[in-house]
Amino acid sequence: MDIKEKLLLLKEGFSKEQVEEISKGEASYLDTSIYAKKEFLSLQMKEIRVGMEEGLDVDIYARPDFDWLQMAEIRLGLEHNDDVRKYAYPKVKHDIMKEIRLGLEEGINLASYSSHTSDILREIRAAHRSEVDILDYVDRGYDAEQLKEIRLALEHHVSISAYLKPEYRGISLREIRIGLERQVNVEEYAFLIYDWRQMRELRLGLEHQINIDHYRNALYSWRQMREIRLGLELGLKVSRFTSFMYTANEMKKRREYMLSHMSEEFKGEQAPVIINYDNFAITISDDESSATIRMHKWDEDVTREAVIRMLRDQNIVFGIKEDVAEELAEGKHLNENVVIAKGQPPVPGKDGYYEFFIKTEINREPKILDDGSIDYHNIEWFQQVSKDQKLAYYHDATEGVEGCTVTGRKIPYVAGKQLSVIGGEGFRLDDDRKTYYSNMDGLVEFKKDLMIITNVLVLDEVTAAMGNVVFNGAINIKGNVQAGSYISAAGEIYISGAVEGAVIEAEGDIVIKQGINASKKGSIKSRQNISSRFIESAIVRAEGDINANYILNSIVTSRKKIKISGRMGSIIGGVTYATDEINVHNVGNDAFVKTILKVGLDDEMVREQVRCEKQLAAIDKELESLHKLHDQLNEMYKGTDKRTNDLFVKIESSVFSKNEEKKMLLESQGAINELIKRTAKSKVIISGTAYENSVVEVNGKRWISNGARDVTLKSNADNQIDIHGQFGVNSKSKWT
């Protein structure tokens, strides 16, 4: 399209943006008559043009009664070969279209729920992915926030149905769900009289095992509840500030004052009190913790009873040392300062503690054999528990003992602190609220403050005849894994035997005690770490570290480090790649088998970096178009309530969605950039021999060895490669 044709269209009333879309269509040899109409906005034209360029049947949506956002969802559905007839109706909003489209791609038809909000449809999709059913609750009218909490409760296997009331907001249901998951008695606070913040304070109190009766009253604001709860957790006598007359700020001041004045055994602001009494001088310490007496003159009228009576007359009533009074009556300690009374400091209560009947930490440090290799067979990788096994018992904190000064003034004690209820899953808290039992046979693991027991599938061995072994938990295989087998676990996989040519995938660690000999069949993949006695003729990939005693003719990839242990630990043949480091004794052998080691930057990282950049550029371009349209609508509907305009609301919704998408992409870009940044420190450490025909690549720089020993290769600050080692006079080792 030349300039004259563009000017003609502008004179006919087309906008500059519309003319640009028509021009792009003609440049791609499209039949622009389908969308070169004034009733189409430029963004609508764009969606039709893009669909035509992709060879799609745009007649389905090339109609002015579809806005451009609806068009985009129909186009995307056509791209994925979805049955767009289930949602391609002008009355179906674009965000609803999106959820129906995504549902179709996930194998669920949400068209019958198009009258609900997109948030509700999103929850139905999430439930479908988690294999839980919330459709009954959808039909009963629960909103998206409520459905989210119901879904999470079902996913976490807690029964929330008894506490479901339509009057509860989703955020209140959240407090009930968390309480159920953390095994507190939610019946203590699951009432409509409490808002969600009050529920939270009551839940936290129950978790910390304090007496919530002190602040259970719904007339307290949640902030007042918080101050009382914090006081109880610190062992304070909260009765001094629980009156409704105190605001939350006043409660806070009183709580902090009490805490600061209880941090010492005694607290006094007065100077010592010196009392002269006949032939005696009595001194009371400034904090009233002790009293001393000095006798200037003795006579026969001084008796033990008289000394004690004299002390009581001076208000010294506690901790009197009667033996010292007796000695004074006998004329001892003349002109000496002696302690005649001693106060009692408060005894703080003991903190609560858990008595565990299982190990809370597993020492996974392997045994190093005499040759430096690792004994994978005898490492304690995990701890198994049985159903109904006693796991732990909680011992309550104690109250403590009050102190007293020599004048009889009571000194409050600091009560011991209660510990929080153990959170996690796979276990239950007994009716005594102290004893914990396992709900299943499984693996127990402590992650931060949580105790997690996961299902364990225990198999004697795995053969191809068994079919696919897929398990939502950990798998413990006591024997071998034969060729042709398929194993997938949501947790860890522990194999006591050997692995042949099988496909094994795990979200957690994979441990193979007897090693892998895959005969170039199958693969081993882990989202965490892989440890195996040896790796032969296998494809192995881990997002974490890989550890073995040797690697032979394999393709091994780690997103962190590869450690080949032992003085005879070798990598022979194949390609071994790690992002951060490869540490090995020998590389190659005296038969000159070509062996390739790579560390640092790889093509996959670069592709991911480019992908993020392209997608961010595309989103920025879309946002630019959205902002332009937003400005046009702002001008068009100037002075009106734009919140009632569907198109305006859709534009704002799209801007928000695109910004969220951009945020996620920026996070991905940051992660890949950080990964690439790490490659600047990538290195290969060869503590033995790099035999002839061994090849090492560090960030794309290649080094070929001809018998070098004790070699370390890494990048330097100038993005060049530093190499240190013993090369010999005739060595042909070089960089290329």
Q: Where are the domains positioned within the chain?
A: 1-113, 116-183, 195-260, 273-344, 348-447, 545-600+682-736, 604-667
Q: Which residues, 6 or more positions from 303, have their beta carbon under 8 angstroms from its beta carbon?
A: 329
Identify the top-confidence range among 186-200, 299-313, 409-423. 186-200
Range from 14-18, 52-56, 451-455 carrying the lowest mean pLDDT: 451-455
Q: What is the mean pLDDT of residues 543-560?
A: 94
Which of the four pLDDT bands, split at 50, 70 and 90, describes residue 566? confident
pLDDT over threshold 50, residue 270:
no
Across 581-663, the runs of DSSP E, i.e. the strands, are: 581-584, 586-587, 595-599
pLDDT for 465 equals 78
pLDDT over threshold 60, residue 218:
yes
Give DSSP secondary structure letters for 368-431.
EPTTS-EE-TT----EEE-TT-EEEEEEPPP-EE-EE-TT--EEPPPPPPPPPPPEEESEEE-T
Place of tokens 């939610």: 186
Task: Assign 202 to helix, strand or coil.
Answer: helix
Of 314 and 48, more confident: 48
pLDDT for 733 equals 42
Place of tokens 């997002």: 543
pLDDT for 43 equals 92
CB-based burial, 674-710: b 16+ in 10 Å, e otherwise:
ebbebbeebbbebbbbbbbbbbbbbbebebbbbbbbe
pLDDT for 680 equals 84
pLDDT for 701 equals 85
The β-bridge relationship of strands 595-599 and 683-690 is unpaired
Report in angstroms the alpha-carbon separations of 20 from 32, 327, 722: 12, 112, 54
Task: Assign 362 to helix, strand or coil.
Answer: coil
pLDDT over threshold 80, residue 114:
yes
Which of the four pLDDT bands, split at 50, 70 and 90, describes residue 653? confident
The span from the CA of 424 to the CA of 385, in Å, is: 15
Average confidence score pLDDT of the chain = 87
Which of these, 660, 654, 647, lies nearest to 627 by C-alpha position?
Answer: 654
Q: What is the mean pLDDT of residues 227-254?
A: 90
Q: Which residues, 6 or more positions from 460, have their beta carbon under 8 angstroms from its beta carbon?
A: 477, 478, 479
Which of these, 384, 385, 383, 379, lies nearest to 512 by C-alpha position?
Answer: 379
Instruction: Write down the pTM of the prediction.
Output: 0.53
pLDDT for 263 equals 44
Beta-bridge mates of residue 425: 452
pLDDT for 376 equals 61
> Maximum distance among all alpha carbons in the chain?
133
Of 335 and 103, more confident: 103
pLDDT over threshold 90, residue 523:
yes
Instruction: Find the helix packing angle between 68-79 and 94-105, rounded to 10°.
Output: 10
Which two structure tokens, joined as six digits, stand for 691? 């035999």
Q: Which residues, 6 or more positions from 165, have their beta carbon under 8 angstroms from its beta carbon?
A: 192
The span from the CA of 265 to the CA of 289, in Å, is: 9
CA torsion angle 620 625 627 631 (round to 10): 160
pLDDT over threshold 70, residue 727:
no
Q: What is the mean pLDDT of residues 537-565?
A: 94
pLDDT for 381 equals 61
Which of the four pLDDT bands, split at 50, 70 and 90, describes residue 113? very high
Q: Which residues, 6 or more positions from 128, have their beta carbon under 8 angstroms from its beta carbon?
A: 103, 106, 107, 108
Report in angstroms the alpha-carbon separations of 577 from 278, 462, 672: 94, 29, 17
Please tell me the chain's helix, strand, coil percentages from 3-state DSSP, rounded to the nearest 5.
Answer: 35, 25, 40
Identify the top-confidence range among 132-146, 603-617, 654-668. 132-146
How far does Cα 188 stand from its chain's mean position? 29
Beta-bridge mates of residue 353: 395
pLDDT over threshold 80, residue 326:
yes
Which two structure tokens, joined as six digits, stand for 731? 């060595």
pLDDT over threshold 80, residue 269:
no
Q: What is the mean pLDDT of residues 526-542?
A: 94
Q: What is the mean pLDDT of residues 71-90?
A: 93
Which of the four pLDDT bands, split at 50, 70 and 90, describes residue 364? low
Give DSSP secondary structure letters for 515-571.
-EE-TT-SEEEESS-EEES-EES-EEEESS-EEESEEEEEEEEESSEEEE-STT-EE
pLDDT over threshold 80, residue 720:
no
- What one-letter code names the amino acid at 1? M
pLDDT over threshold 60, residue 522:
yes
- Could you say which of 2.120.10, 3.40.1000, 2.160.20, 3.30.70 is the CATH number of the domain covering 545-600+682-736? 2.160.20
Which of the four pLDDT bands, split at 50, 70 and 90, describes residue 246? very high
pLDDT for 468 equals 83
Place of tokens 């290195």: 683
Which two structure tokens, joined as six digits, stand for 257? 């004052």
pLDDT for 256 equals 87
Answer for the pair 647, 61: CB distance below 8 angstroms, yes or no: no
Q: What is the mean pLDDT of residues 633-653?
A: 69
Range from 383-392, 511-520, 587-596, 624-633 carrying the lowest mean pLDDT: 624-633
pLDDT digits (tens, 9 = 90+) for 415-446: 888 888 898 888 999 988 899 999 988 888 88
Q: What is the mean pLDDT of residues 117-131?
A: 93
pLDDT over threshold 50, residue 390:
yes
pLDDT for 707 equals 85
The β-bridge relationship of strands 390-395 and 353-356 is antiparallel
Of 726 and 46, more confident: 46
Q: What is the mean pLDDT of residues 565-569?
A: 79
Which of these, 42, 23, 41, 43, lies nearest to 32 by C-alpha position?
Answer: 23
Residues in the chain: 736
Of 442 and 570, more confident: 570
Answer for the pair 694, 711: CB distance below 8 angstroms, yes or no: no
How far does Cα 324 stand from its chain's mean position? 64
The span from the CA of 421 to the CA of 183, in Å, is: 8
The span from the CA of 145 to the CA of 174, in Å, is: 9
Q: What is the mean pLDDT of residues 477-496?
A: 91
Beta-bridge mates of residue 355: 393
pLDDT for 728 equals 44
The span from the CA of 402 to the CA of 424, in Å, is: 37
